[in-house]
């Protein structure tokens, strides 16, 4: 489709203030136009589609009823926020989603006052909204905290930690549970909508409040008993007893696509003194777009696609994705080793564990969005003699760092960490970049930390990790496709802490860790063309270091450059520490470390991100020439 959808009503709405000028009878049309606009935009950019389609009516209703941005609206994860962005002054940029210099695919404080809290990891919304609510309450200012959290995010303990501390916020806090996948709701229809309106109405809450005051005069015991009786009676009819036990007034379930149901309930909650309130809303991912509704994953994340047919633009083939190399290799290893099992935290296809699970369904565990539990679960398996692989994105493993330290490293348990999405990740931006895992793991005693330069190395490292029982071991690999190298049938068990030299030279040594190896080779070619003989070493291990190789190269070369796809504190820092301790830099050796810059990089094409980071071949060449004070680097050659 080349022409944009017709959106005459949406064209009149730039901010929620404009939305609130509409009549309630116009909101259905507005929602339909909003859905069409979002589908068209994501068709051009790619991104998260199904989740946003599922909250079109809910987004419209929240902004219509509540006084945003004074009322702080926090979207959990934030991947469902595209309709929200369209309604909050960013429609003119919605077709720049996830592009360099464009809108983030998640909520972002720097983008808009309507994004009060940035999010891209799950289960943070209730804590943040509670913070907003309590800050306003303590400062005697108007304004609520409104958290919209999906049922999947309720699998993380942080959501319950927040709910357990929410009582003081009173009616300042509203939590909207968007139930779109887990089928935790009873059937939704006219009766449940009526009950939801009734129990949130001022008449019901007024009678409830009056009865509570009378019961208080009868004594604490009588009052407490009647209050519990009312709570459980309501719970039997509407559900939600668990939330009531956590101190919330439960309303629902209601149809999240029926504005005639949504608007009255939200208005009742807005005007009530009761709180905190949890509103249970049932929605459908991909709602209103047949290809998404009929897809198994409801078009959760999509490439650019044809809006008419729903057909996504496919890649032209090429090397396999790293995550699939891992999953398929692990599945083959498990054919001969009954101790191997795999754990993922709600990312089976993203980590390749789905491939393992297909072959070994009884040994694959998806623990939900619960990385902390997943890591300690793996530790327990390891302590009992299993060989667990915890396959978790680098950015998500950060959420379980205490468990990595306390439950794995200190006890020296042989948990295998398969760390996906290492390095920069393109359109997902800084919230999903795997920038820190080398630093936060290589600093820990007992850990072995590897980084794969290509898909063959990843296969070797998977086998090496499976065979390593002396303590925790991690191997990292990037997002996307491999380099095209063949994966050997016979896998190699790597010697722990030993790198490999992939080309020999005499003047410059490039020590590469991970997937920058191809750029290091290109840089070596360019340096050789300038008459600078260059060694390239694939270090393989950030910990333990191949100290023998490092010392040999430092004693025989004039310049040593380390290159890695990680933040400061990784390979370069460890190499410099070793060199300093051994006095290897005392005689004038030039050492330079190349790593990710000390910033959070915004989304862009990965090649452009690495250009911005200064980690492509031309940057390696420039670093070497500058160290040598070579004319080609724009620095006068040093005179004797």
Q: Which two tokens stand for residue 45?
A: 């950019």
285 labelled catalytic: yes
Nearest to 256 by CA among 277, 279, 237: 279
373 is in an annotated binding site: no
- Catalytic residue (choose from 85, 399, 521, 540): 399
151 is in an annotated binding site: yes
Contact 452, 518 (CB under 8 A): no
- Catalytic residue (choose from 371, 455, 457, 519): 371
Where helices occur in 337-482 by DSSP H, the ranges are 348-351, 353-359, 371-383, 394-397, 401-403, 437-442, 455-467
90 labelled catalytic: no
CA distance 99 to 45: 8
371 labelled catalytic: yes
Altogether, the residues listed in the chain come to a count of: 640
Peptide bond into 544 cis (omega under 30): yes
360 is in an annotated binding site: no
Q: Which two tokens stand for residue 159?
A: 């959501």
315 is in an annotated binding site: no
194 is in an annotated binding site: no
Nearest to 285 by CA among 305, 262, 306, 301: 301
Cα atoms in the 13 Å half-sphere on the side-chain side of 485: 18
Q: Cα 507 to chain center, whole Å?
A: 42
CA distance 533 to 549: 18
Are β-strands 47-48 and 301-302 bridged in parallel, bridged antiparallel, or unpaired?
Answer: antiparallel
Contact 49, 302 (CB under 8 A): yes
- Catalytic residue (choose from 108, 144, 285, 595): 285
421 Ramachandran zone, left/alpha/beta (phi>0; psi -120 to 50): left
180 is in an annotated binding site: yes
Instruction: Convert 463-488 to b/e letters by CB count within 10 Å (16 or more is b).
Output: bbbbebeebbbbbbbbbbbbeeeebe
End-to-end CA, the chain: 68
Nearest to 585 by CA among 575, 595, 594: 575
Contact 29, 2 (CB under 8 A): no
371 is in an annotated binding site: yes
120 is in an annotated binding site: yes
79 is in an annotated binding site: yes
Q: Which residues are catalytic, by number?
A: 285, 371, 399
Binding site for thiamine diphosphate: what residues are annotated? Answer: 79, 120-122, 152-153, 180, 289, 371
Binding site for Mg(2+): what residues are annotated? Answer: 151, 180
């Amino acid at each position: 489709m080349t022409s944009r959808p017709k959106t005459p009503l949406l064209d009149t709405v730039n901010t929620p203030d404009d939305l609130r000028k509409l009549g309630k009878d116009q909101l259905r049309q507005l929602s339909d136009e909003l859905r069409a606009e979002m589908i068209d935009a994501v068709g051009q950019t790619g991104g998260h589609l199904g989740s946003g389609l599922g909250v079109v009516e809910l987004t419209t209703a929240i902004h219509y009823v509540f006084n945003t941005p004074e009322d702080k609206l926090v979207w959990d994860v934030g991947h469902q926020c595209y309709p929200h962005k369209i309604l909050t002054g960013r429609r003119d940029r919605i077709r720049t989603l996830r592009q360099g210099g464009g809108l983030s695919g998640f909520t972002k404080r720097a983008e808009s006052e309507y994004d009060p809290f940035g999010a891209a990891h799950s289960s943070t919304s209730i804590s943040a909204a509670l913070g907003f609510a309590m800050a306003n309450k303590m400062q005697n200012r108007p304004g609520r905290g409104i958290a919209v959290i999906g049922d999947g995010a309720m699998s993380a303990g942080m959501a319950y930690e927040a709910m357990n501390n929410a009582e003081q916020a009173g009616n300042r806090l509203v939590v909207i549970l968007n139930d779109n996948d887990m089928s935790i709701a009873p059937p939704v229809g006219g009766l449940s909508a009526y009950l939801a309106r009734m129990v949130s109405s001022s008449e019901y809450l007024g009678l409830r409040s009056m009865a509570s005051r009378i019961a208080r005069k009868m004594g604490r015991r009588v009052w407490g008993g009647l209050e519990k009786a009312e709570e459980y009676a309501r719970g039997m009819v509407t559900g939600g007893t668990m939330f009531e036990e956590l101190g919330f007034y439960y309303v629902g379930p209601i149809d999240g696509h029926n504005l005639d149901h949504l608007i009255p309930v939200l208005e009742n909650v807005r005007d009530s003194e009761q709180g905190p309130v949890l509103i249970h809303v049932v929605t459908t991912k991909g709602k209103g777009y047949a290809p998404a509704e009929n897809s198994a994953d409801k078009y959760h994340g999509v490439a650019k696609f044809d809006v008419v047919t729903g057909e996504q633009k496919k890649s032209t083939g090429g090397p396999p994705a790293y995550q699939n190399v891992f999953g398929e290799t692990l599945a083959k290893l498990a054919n001969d080793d009954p101790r191997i099992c795999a754990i993922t935290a709600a990312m089976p296809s993203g980590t390749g564990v789905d491939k393992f699970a297909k072959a070994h369904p009884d040994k694959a565990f998806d623990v939900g969005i619960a990385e902390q539990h997943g890591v300690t679960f793996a530790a327990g398996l390891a302590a009992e003699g299993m060989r667990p692989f915890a396959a978790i994105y680098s950015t998500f493993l950060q959420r379980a760092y205490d468990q990595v330290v306390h439950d794995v490293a200190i006890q020296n348990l042989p948990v295998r960490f398969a760390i996906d999405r290492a390095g920069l990740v393109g359109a997902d931006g800084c919230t999903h970049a795997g920038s820190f895992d080398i630093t936060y793991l290589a600093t820990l005693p007992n850990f072995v930390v590897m980084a794969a330069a290509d898909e063959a190395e990843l296969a070797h490292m998977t086998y090496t990790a499976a065979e390593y029982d002396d303590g925790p071991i991690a191997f990292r690999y990037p997002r996307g496709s491999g380099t095209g190298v063949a994966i050997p049938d016979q896998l190699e068990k790597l010697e722990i802490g030993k790198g490999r030299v992939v080309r020999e030279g005499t003047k410059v040594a490039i020590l590469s860790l991970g997937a920058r190896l191809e750029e290091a080779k290109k840089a070596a070619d360019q340096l050789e063309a300038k008459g600078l003989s260059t060694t390239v070493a694939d270090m393989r291990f950030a910990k333990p270091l191949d100290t023998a190789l490092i010392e040999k190269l430092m004693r025989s070369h004039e310049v040593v450059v380390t290159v890695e796809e990680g933040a400061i504190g990784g390979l370069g820092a460890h190499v410099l520490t070793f060199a300093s301790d051994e006095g290897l830099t005392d005689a004038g050796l030039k050492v330079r470390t190349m790593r990710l810059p000390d910033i959070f990089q915004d989304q862009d094409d990965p090649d452009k991100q690495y250009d911005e980071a200064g980690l492509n071949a031309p940057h390696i060449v420039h670093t070497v020439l500058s160290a040598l004070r070579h004319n080609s680097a724009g620095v006068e050659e040093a005179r004797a």
